[in-house]
Amino acid sequence: MNVGRITASTFLIPMTPKRTQQWLQVVGHAGSFYVGDNGTLLKRFCEREQQCYLRLMEDSLRPFVPAYHGVVQRDEQDFNMMDNLLTNFRAPAIMDCKMGSRTYLEEELQMARDRPQPRTDMYEKMVAVDPEAPTAQERTQQAVVKTRYMQWRETLSSTTTLGFRIEGFRKANGECITNFKRTKSRDQVKEALSDFVESNTHIMWSYLTRLKQLRQVLEKSDFFRTHEVVGSSLLFVHDRTGKAGVWMIDFGKTLPVPAQRTLDHRTPWVEGNREDGYLWGLDNLIDILAKLLPLT
């Protein structure tokens, strides 16, 4: 599904007479969401994502994902209905971190080999950041293949070196920052995280505690053990009342591995092993956040 990208925009759409539902999309494809009734969010239907949510509702990870409420139709299109994670926050700060050391599926790599489809939009996004990045052939074609673009994005940012990257955030004061394509080193990530939480140690502690709980649950989850989790994000939300939470979102590229196989999510990826580096990234994220706090 390619419905365009957004950098940051605000949707304040009243859905019920009783209460105004607030929602704001930090990053991701534009045009994929509607705000639903009673604190729900509708995301453009994706069967893979539906299958994941159905399984996650039965898994120990359930408290760490938005509750899933099935498929609904709007304007003759199907949507997955889930909880809007912003519902119980006031003017929240929101951050999207894309997890894992790889942002494309093994099957996408195979497809790119079998049927390469060079894209001009990705070439343009690439040269906008680094005019020197395209190869001579890409320059001639004025186009790049998607997996090559994704790999370039991974090495430019912290995806390859830390196993996660900050995609963007909105601070409690409404400021939106999405220019993290070159945020790569531990120090750069630290600085960005510190800016997001506005150096509030209470919020940092809350995030750290929640991430450690998530790690414990991930290490035991049947769902996680048996799925390649690619392009999924952690959504961080806090507000000025001191409330904070982190949830896993975006399972459009999360696939079951063949029966009898399992993943540990820390072993480095080599093509064929399906490893995604998710837990390695979470280890690094926890470590970086902990170092922002005194005496952890």
Ligand X SMILES: Nc1ncnc2c1ncn2[C@@H]1O[C@H](COP(=O)(O)OP(=O)(O)OP(=O)(O)O)[C@@H](O)[C@H]1O
Instruction: Write the single-letter amino acid at 47.
Output: E
Cα torsion angle, 72, 54, 252, 15, sign: positive
85 binds ligand X (CB under 6 A): yes
Q: Which stretch binds ligand X (CB under 6 A): 23-31, 116-124, 213-221, 277-285?
A: 23-31
150 binds ligand I3P (CB under 6 A): yes
Task: Kindly determine how many residues on this chain lie close enough to bind ligand I3P according to the rule CB under 6 A.
Answer: 9
Q: Which stretch binds ligand I3P (CB under 6 A): 16-24, 41-49, 146-154, 240-248?
A: 146-154
* CA gap 174, 212 in Å, rounded: 28
- The alpha carbons of the chain give a radius of gyration, in whole angstroms, of 19
* CA gap 227, 253 in Å, rounded: 10
**For residue 93, how far is the Cα from the chain centroid?**
16
Question: 55 or 146, CB closer to ligand I3P?
Answer: 146
Instruction: Write the single-letter amino acid at 88.
Output: N
Question: 98 or 238, CB closer to ligand I3P?
Answer: 98
Calculated CA dihedral for residues 170, 176, 177, 179, nearest 10 degrees: 130
Pick from 52, 81, 93, 94 the residue near ligand X by CB under 6 A. Answer: 94
182 binds ligand I3P (CB under 6 A): no
* CA gap 85, 94 in Å, rounded: 10
Rule CB under 6 A: which of 191-210 touch ligand I3P? none
Q: How far is the CB of 80 from ligand X (least distance, A)?
A: 10
Pick from 32, 151, 157, 158 the residue near ligand X by CB under 6 A. Answer: 32
276 binds ligand X (CB under 6 A): no
Taking CB within 5 to 8 Å according to partner kind, which of ligand X, ligand I3P, none is near residue 150?
ligand I3P
* CA gap 267, 225 in Å, rounded: 13
The conformational region for residue 39 under phi > 0 = left, psi -120 to 50 = alpha, else beta, is left
Contact positions toward ligand I3P, by CB under 6 A?
2, 5, 103, 125, 146, 150, 153, 231, 252
Binding site for ligand X (CB under 6 A): 25-29, 32, 41, 66, 82-86, 94, 96, 231, 233, 235, 249-250, 252
